[in-house]
Structure 1
């Protein structure tokens, strides 16, 4: 059987999904259905991406305002406390200006000024002493090696011993870490950090007092509690520095409201 020449191949044409006068096939109809929602799907994906990006920015800002970690929370609360203290000081200055304007009696005015100074409401500046205390260095030999770590750090009683000695030496005003000390000021140590006026500080601790430098220094050396601290200064090298300087004592910026405990009576005591 003879085979004739093969006719030239017709070039392959792209499929026509729909020709005029011709019903589209099932496959063509299926491809059309697939292609139509593709635009809607892209729009939905775009909107979802924008939504996720917006939420990320919102939550990031919210995390800054309301941090969940302790360090971030302490930072936010410290900043809020400093802002409130500044506002409190501004309001007190404003009230003081009205009081001074309303006072016509010079003697009454002088008495009020003395009372304000005694309560720490006015800034003071004058000669005095600056005392600094800090922890002992890490040591692996000698007496320090046999002592507990608790004996190598500055404690609350050490800071209070210096403060009490300076008051006994005739201090007119005093600051601890730059905060004005008044009758309601509380200094509290936890471990080797100091809490005062809502703030936390690490060593060195600085106590400054306005008064006669000679009398203040003599009162420090006469204090038995300060002498005990100085024994540790010699034995384990606890930090100790005393120098004469001009002390600037800012006005007290904390609350003036007193809080106190009461003895329970009646049913409260029984409970």
Structure 2
């Protein structure tokens, strides 16, 4: 009976956690569109920041209730699957420390003369530029990754709205920092081999965009503090028709 009560408490707390988490979708590609959504983005970012503390507290409560619910009546607590370092790292549930590198992308300096033929879109970092670096680092065997101050997991999505980056409900302005833990030589090689990163480097050479790669001996990557719930996914209807 106590075990059933514990499971019910976990579900109730988890439901509240999901209800207070926000996910922003439908961003725009800055190289093709510069939407003037600054006020809306700032408002949503403030709301998400205010909820972050509540989400963190609820997550701790859910974790504690989950451990209680897994404990057999009159017996020892069940094994925590996230105690496996491999699973905990892959899921983002555990903070990770180790060698790696940080890639910094930045807009072209505004105080310098604009290169001949350059348009405003040529002088700023765009969604696909951040995605190019992220994809290259994963391809290079990155074990854990963070963009700015947020852990990247399977459900993370990079979006650009206007001239800001939107990541898991929070907004950021350049310079953008992408850090990854892994074999440093492999990570460098993956960046060098990426066709998409090579295109960005052409803009670096032509228009003065920022691109810097720095090795880090003891990189600190925090645990993921958001929700992995698929907010917009739907199970397809079965049966005939479309």
* Among 100, 103, 110, the residue aligned to 1:131: 103
Say what the alpha-carbon RMSD is for the aligned residues: 2.9
Residue correspondences, number? 196
1:186 aligns with: 157
| CA distance 1:113–1:75, shift in 2 (3 Å) | closer
**1:127 and 1:210 in contact (8 A); partners too:** yes
- Aligned partners of 1:103 and 1:158: how far apart in 2? 44
Between Structure 1 and Structure 2, the one with more helix by share is 1
1:255-270 counterparts in 2 under 5 A?
255-259=227-231, 260-261=233-234
Relative to structure 1, the CA distance from residue 194 to residue 109 in structure 2 (aligned partners, 3 Å threshold; closer, same or farther) is closer
The answer to whether the aligner puts 1:87 opposite 2:57 as a matched pair is yes
Are the aligned partners of 2:96 and 2:144 in contact in 1 as well (CA < 8 Å)? yes
Match of 1:152 in 2: 123
Structure 2 gap ranges (5+): 1-38
Question: Aligned residue for 2:89?
Answer: 117
Q: Kindly indicate whether residue 133 of structure 2 is the aligned counterpart of residue 162 of structure 1.
A: yes
Please state whether the residue corresponding to 1:102 is helix, strand or coil. coil
| Residue number in structure 2 paired with 1:103 | 78
Judged with a 3 Å threshold, the aligned counterparts in structure 2 of structure 1 residues 127 and 95 are, in CA distance, closer, same or farther, namely farther
Structure 1 partner of 2:219:
247
Q: TM-score, normalised by structure 2?
A: 0.70
Distance in 2 (CA, whole Å) between partners of 1:72 and 1:239 is 25
**Runs of 5+ unmatched residues, structure 1:** 1-68
Taking structure 1 as the reference length, the TM-score comes to: 0.63
2:224 pairs with 1:224: no
Q: Measure the CA separation in 1 of the matches of 2:126 and 2:66.
A: 38
Report the 3-state secondary structure (helix = DSSP H, G, I; strand = E; otherwise coil) of the residue aligned with 1:146: coil
Matches within 5 A, 1:52-71: none
Higher alpha-carbon deviation: 70-79 or 222-231: 70-79
Give the C-alpha shift of residue 148 in structure 1: 1.4
Give the direction of change, closer, same or farther, for the CA distance of 1:70–1:155 in structure 2 (3 Å limit).
closer
Structure whose CA Rg is larger: 1
Residue in structure 1 matching 2:172, options 201, 211, 224: 201
Question: Counterpart of 2:183?
Answer: 212
2:113 to 140, 144, 150: 140
Name the structure, 1 or 2, with higher relative contact order (CA <8 Å, separation 6+). Answer: 2
